[in-house]
Amino acid sequence: TQLLEQSPQFLSIQEGENLTVYCNSSSVFSSLQWYRQEPGEGPVLLVTVVTGGEVKKLKRLTFQFGDARKDSSLHITAAQPGDTGLYLCAGGTSYGKLTFGQGTILTVHP
């Protein structure tokens, strides 16, 4: 069974601060995805990384995929209250299943 350890589980910060969320595994994934989920809605894809060492930027969000494709991080610069939500990492396998991390509940206070 492939597991993804996501940390921290809870993050409460002030507007303007930076933060990093981590996803680690002992298994290799063919791809790793990051999602953001609002209460009562389905997850929305933020980014997919597939190449070891890959770095992708989406405005104030920076995503990294580890060289060995076993870990990933999400860094948010100058967080805003609108960034509040549940962030999920998910590892993809060759047979189509997604393995989700435990999730990080981010709260950004104005």
For residue 21, state whether it binds other proteins (rule: CB under 8 A). Answer: no
Q: Which of 13, 19, 46, 86 binds other proteins (CB under 8 A)?
A: 86
Q: How far is the CB of 42 from other proteins (least distance, A)?
A: 4
Q: To the nearest whole angstrom, how small is the minimum distance from the Cβ of residue 36 to other proteins?
A: 11
Say whether 83 sits in a helix, a strand or coil: helix
Does the protein bind other proteins through residue 42 (CB under 8 A)? yes
